[in-house]
Amino acid sequence: MRGVVSKILLRLLGAALMLGANASAWAVDIQALHVSTAADSTRLIFDVSGPPDYKLFEIGNPDRVVLDIRAAGFSTGFAAPAGKGLLKTLRTGKQGKGDARVVLDLATAAHPKSFVLPPDSRNGYRLVVDLYPRDKAAHDAVKSVTALAAKPRNVVIAIDPGHGGVDPGATGSSGTHEKDITLAVSRELKRLIDKQSGMSAVLTRDDDTFIPLKERYQKARIAKADLFLSIHADAFASGDARGSSVWMLSSRGATSEAAHWLADRENRADLVGGVSLDDKDNTLAAVLLDLSQGATLEASGSVADEVLRALGRIGPTHRGYVEKANFVVLRSPDVPSILVETAFITNPAEEKRLSSPAQREKLAGAILDGIRNYFRATPPPGSLFAATAAREKPERLGGRKAPPVDTAAFAADDPDREILARIPKS
Ligand SMILES: [Zn+2]
């Protein structure tokens, strides 16, 4: 979610730079480093042999970011890449007894954010350091809070075709596999979304491969998705169960997931709503996670309602309300997530419908209608939807204006002071 809440969380703790204090016994090999640039940031991805225990800090005059990785060394094949974007040059060395140090010389003052990606089917552990220009970060945060972004962005929808590869999902009486239907519906939905102005879609899989559930929502978070949408086709023992249904995470599921996030070191090093929980004490981390999750569940409920209503206009729904369950795939703490059971693959009439490209287009069109209605009603800050809403209903923005802030506690040139000053004093 790139909503107001996450922006505030992000900037509120943006100044916290010390990450990872727990001791780990194992030595970590730094195997490779990839540098890439985006429109407003520079990303460094370190391939590492295990979960890194690291510290990240900034030094001025000249502007540098220093990364220390505990009990770590560089693999023999490691080559420092050339500078790119905000990274001018890069130096590596030893620090203290057996720690590795990487010094990033910056082209211009930049603010680092970092997180650790757990291994997936293709990669091992990765430490990601993103560099954002200092001035722009402050500027963006203020702009997004006042919903006056100059260049509106697309909302990003991550579409997750359920099952795949060795996991075929449910099978209909004519032998149709759920994994093929979910991929076909998802591709159709992506095609329709990408034709819309202000919207774009990414797929968690675009072929017949198996992807673990956690990796699916990780992909959505990496894509900075505004919405995660998992597509399935239902199954039931009797062939006459019918209709589409829409699911969201139960609050019980969210609570148990919160416990995991707080307990799991890898999760805590990851960003939630743009903020790393890793360096927060338990109470503060729990409050931040709760804030983010509460907003996310509420958003998931709204989008689920819209999609269910839109599906109800083209065919039967299984129940007249949004259902809740503890689905792993819906557990992102900061990306609104829903699961759509398009129809019953075990119902021969619906199996036939799911197998027809024309019917799938109608289905995808209804899901798109629901999503679009949601983003019109709740436009994410900085998006084209927000810009359109601001043009059509300027009075609506009145209530969102930032309150007057007391910035006395912060240096005049501290880009965090605008947002830091908004932390309610308890
Ligand atoms: Zn399924």
Predicted pLDDT at 347: 94
Distance 170 CA to ligand 1 centre (A): 7
Distance CA 35, CA 83 (A): 8
Position 3 confidence tier, pLDDT thresholds 50, 70, 90: low
Q: How many Cβ atoms are within 10 Å of 409's Cβ, its own excluded?
A: 9
Distance 339 CA to ligand 1 centre (A): 9
Distance 168 CA to ligand 1 centre (A): 9
Q: Taking residues 99-126, what's their average pLDDT?
A: 87
Q: Tell me which of 401 and 101 has the higher pLDDT.
A: 101
Predicted pLDDT at 99: 87
User: Which tens digits make up the pLDDT trace of 189-207?
Assistant: 999 999 999 999 999 999 9
Q: Is 181 exposed, middle or buried (0-12, 13-18, 19+ CB in 10 A)?
A: buried
For residue 62, pLDDT over 80 is answered with: yes
Distance 234 CA to ligand 1 centre (A): 6
User: Which tens digits make up the pLDDT trace of 140-186?
Assistant: 554 454 444 457 899 999 999 999 999 999 999 999 999 999 999 99
Distance 123 CA to ligand 1 centre (A): 26
Predicted pLDDT at 270: 74
Q: Tell me which of 16 and 62 has the higher pLDDT.
A: 62
Position 12 confidence tier, pLDDT thresholds 50, 70, 90: very low
Distance 49 CA to ligand 1 centre (A): 34
Distance 250 CA to ligand 1 centre (A): 18
Predicted pLDDT at 138: 56
Distance 162 CA to ligand 1 centre (A): 6
Q: Domains, the chain, ranges and CATH?
A: 17-133 (2.60.40.3500), 155-388 (3.40.630.40)
Residue type for position 307: V
Distance 255 CA to ligand 1 centre (A): 24
Distance 188 CA to ligand 1 centre (A): 18
Predicted pLDDT at 154: 96
Cβ contact 253:327 at 8 Å: yes
Position 30 confidence tier, pLDDT thresholds 50, 70, 90: very high
Q: Tell me which of 8 and 368 has the higher pLDDT.
A: 368
Distance 264 CA to ligand 1 centre (A): 28
Distance 318 CA to ligand 1 centre (A): 15
Predicted pLDDT at 238: 84
Predicted pLDDT at 263: 78
What is the crossing angle of helices 282-312 and 4-12, to 10°? Answer: 160
Distance 346 CA to ligand 1 centre (A): 12
Distance 340 CA to ligand 1 centre (A): 9
Whole-prediction pTM: 0.60
Cβ contact 33:80 at 8 Å: yes
Cβ contact 4:226 at 8 Å: no
Distance 161 CA to ligand 1 centre (A): 9
Predicted pLDDT at 239: 86
